[in-house]
Amino acid sequence: MNINQIQDSIIEDFSMYEDWEDKYEYIIELGKELPEMNEQYKTEENLIKGCQSRVWLHAEEEEGLVKFQADSDAIITKGIIGLLIKIFNNQSAKEISNSDIYFLKEIGLQEHLSPTRANGLVSMVKQIKNYGIAFNLKS
């Protein structure tokens, strides 16, 4: 699936949840299920500092596809990272650099991607795209 197809399927998944609590329970679940980030990548260099929660992001390119690993110290942030990884993992650098992230707004979680939240997610999305641009230039 391409980036937009994945976003659409996430939006569909979330349409089942009526109240905020169910939504957050699902996100927290995603956070718990997020594959462990390789400890060696949890470096100062890969750290995106938000005032509220911290986010680590690492990317590699393999056979034309970008692989992401990420983590956060806050579980809700981590759950949203889980969604972002679903969307961006194994996409081409070009698709990543041209992508538009609209699903958070559609599922009513836009607030987590607000620059004033200082949870590191805005910078994370920016950083994901930067990786896309950089890998795209290299190839």
By the criterion CB under 8 A, which residues form the site for another protein?
A: 20-21, 24-25, 28, 51-54, 73-77, 119
Complex with another protein: residue 93 or 121, whichever CB lies closer: 121
> Is 131 tagged catalytic?
no
Q: How far is the CB of 32 from another protein (least distance, A)?
A: 10
Complex with another protein: residue 119 or 127, whichever CB lies closer: 119
How far is Cα 135 from Cα 64, in angstroms, rounded to an integer?
9
Q: How far is the CB of 39 from another protein (least distance, A)?
A: 18
Q: How many CB atoms lie within 10 A of CB 11?
A: 15
Catalytic residue among 38, 51, 60, 108: 51
Spatial CB neighbours of 93, under 8 Å, sequence gap ≥ 6: 61, 64, 66, 131, 132, 133, 134, 135, 136, 139
Q: Dihedral sign for Cα 18, 21, 26, 27, please.
A: positive
Q: How far is the CB of 117 from another protein (least distance, A)?
A: 9
Enzyme catalytic residues: 51
